[in-house]
Chain A
């Protein structure tokens, strides 16, 4: 069969269909790209933070390498080689001022490491390694000459002969350029470079100008570190550093479900550090109560609206929509005013002699406050879908049931209610999704008990700075929400979301 232009009809139709598809995609594309770039990518970017862990390897590169040979199951601290690497790393990090950040990072895994790193950063410049510097410089003045050093460090033979010195000198030179804005060839190398030189020489390497080392009393770096803080010879500290030296970690996720990576693999956190499972359960229970409250309060309202004549229903609908359109913060401040111990509700109850003046109810800064305020805020999201479903239930069904002899209750429960279930489902999922991720209202009226996991996430982002943990908690929350969203799509269909009747 041919179309008017002589092509086969099938091909022609296909082409028209393809054109239509392309045109539709062309219309959608700008928005889709916009949402992908401004919304979806930021979220993925944040989720990645939950596994990123380059900071240990970047701050302590030599230590991480040296630690590979240390047996983490041993009950002893690592040997002098590791401490020598740590000495260089910390001395450099202290100049870059990154050791404190690493300390904060590792403190999430083992409290106490932050203060350890801070103390060490201050003390590491005062180690007695200057004996090496002095010995080398006394043996030959060339060792005190910055230009001479720079010259040696360009000689490939010397570089090959003195691997540790080369590595340390290069890092030092880079630091001198970046942090001090000086030229390495004009600066005398610092003590840790001479320490590396001594280590190379003690290992039998040939020095550019040979020096008799026998007179030098070696400085034990392990002892020097232990002098700053005993924790440096605690194998647990080293286990933590080693466990978190890879660039990616599951540590944040383990933390988010109250686990930790101990010496014998994954284990539960000590009792007083278990927080998040409880918080997730708390979030769930509160969201469920809010959802339940919304059904209880929303169902009669929706029923009334669906069964009143249009004119009065529209008038009453305004009472539902006004809160919906009123600023969230306005409503939250209203509840703050109402729920206080000296607030309007308590005043009213005291005035009505229902409670005594000294027996005022605590309804704010706890779960009650959050549940009341959020029920109020989310109630329209329950009423609107319920209403739109109930509108479609013909009243004649109820009348038919009654005329067949059903009592009012039976007619409602066996005939009307089953038909309104889709509305309840839609409303419940919507309310649950919205409440589970709430932040503002619980923050303002929830105190310490009535807060959600979102408030924990915000706390870790803006106060404790544990961004990785915030991202891990966020990932878990987002997964839950996405599953619910998918359910909602399956049950109700996203197209059927109704806003404002």
Chain B
């Protein structure tokens, strides 16, 4: 399919171009909604529609006032600060615990591997509304119930605190770390660690000097996934958090439901910029990982 052979029949040519057109339309379906937001965010009006001025490219129809609103409005700024406070900490927890566990899981003889894996991946699978309501009630308790033991009393409750939101987001990010890190470990050549051991390196040195650099791309991309999960998460934060922890998605969600203003579109445009940035980072990481493992970049 890399090109149309010179002997192609009329029908084949037709199909070839038909498929290309179809794919073009589907790509358009994927991308157009995201692109549409960008010009609308420069709307001089306070509503979500293209004004006649905008369509005729009249400069009066455009303004950056929604961006100004975003940067000057204290609610939005609080949301940005909160998102930046919550996501990195949650990511740190998911990545550190997740990487350790992924290394454990990739050993050759792990009892109950399948079951453990299923539990660790479950935060990705369980509907968010169920996770959110469960955490909402559970984190409200000032104690942790331990089956067959009783309760461990806590001096605080977790709902409406940073810690609560961070822990919840860390749990949601873990499947992504597990998946990406185990994936890189699958291609990991164990003779390398044996070689390192042979040369006298202890397990810790081996881990940091041999294993870690090789799985680093997986760890970082897992971390990016965990970060974006927290950064983009709204259901859990709506339930577990309180207004003091409102994040960007929280503010966007209430904005879409309540005080609908194109500031949301300005924020959306900024977020699209960030996702493009993340995407390229990931692409670079992927290439690096493949180069390191001696595969040709495909």
Interface residues of chain A, those whose CB is within 8 Å of chain B, are 17, 20-21, 23-28, 30-32, 34-47, 49, 297, 300-301, 303-304, 307-310, 314, 316, 318-323, 325-338, 340, 342-344, 347, 376, 379, 395, 408, 433, 436-440, 443-444, 454, 457-458, 461, 467, 470-471, 474, 477-478, 481, 485, 489, 494-495, 497-501
Contacts and interface: CB of A to CB of B under 8 A. Distances in A.
A328 to B, nearest CB: 6
B120 A35 contact: yes
Interface string B1-34: 1100000000110010001101100110111011
Contacts of A478: 126-127, 130
Contacts of B2: 307-309
A376 B134 contact: no
Contact of B23 (A46, A304, A347, A499): A304
A35 to B, nearest CB: 6
Given A300-B26, A327-B271, A474-B130, A337 B110 contact: no
B104 to A, nearest CB: 3
B36 A337 contact: yes
B253 interface: yes
B75 interface: no
Q: Which of A26, A326, A342, A436 has the most CB of B within 10 A?
A: A326
A46 B133 contact: yes
A440 B234 contact: yes
A231 B145 CA distance: 42
29 contacts: A27-B100, A28-B100, A31-B100, A34-B93, A34-B97, A37-B144, A38-B135, A42-B139, A43-B130, A46-B137, A46-B138, A47-B134, A300-B19, A307-B2, A326-B34, A330-B37, A333-B264, A336-B48, A343-B48, A376-B33, A395-B1, A439-B128, A454-B129, A458-B133, A478-B126, A478-B130, A481-B127, A499-B179, A500-B225
Contacts of B125: 433, 481, 485
Contacts of A500: 221, 225, 282
Given A27-B103, A440-B234, A489-B118, A38 B167 contact: yes
A403 to B, nearest CB: 13
Nearest to B48: A337
B137 A49 contact: yes
A215 to B, nearest CB: 55
A297 B22 CA distance: 9
Interface in B223-256: 225, 228, 231-232, 234-235, 239, 249, 252-253, 256
A343 B32 CA distance: 14
Given A329-B264, A337-B48, A500-B282, 9 more contacts: A25-B110, A31-B97, A35-B120, A42-B135, A44-B134, A308-B2, A328-B249, A338-B33, A494-B118
B84 interface: no
Contact of B37 (A31, A321, A334): A334
Contacts of B30: 319-320, 322-323, 376, 379
Given A323-B30, A326-B272, A334-B33, A17 B131 contact: no
Given A20-B108, A344-B50, A42 B97 contact: no
B214 interface: no
A24 B100 CA distance: 9
Contacts of B12: 408
A28 B110 contact: yes
B232 to A, nearest CB: 5
B275 A42 contact: no
Contact of A343 (B49, B104, B170, B239): B49
A24 B176 CA distance: 20
A344 B279 contact: no
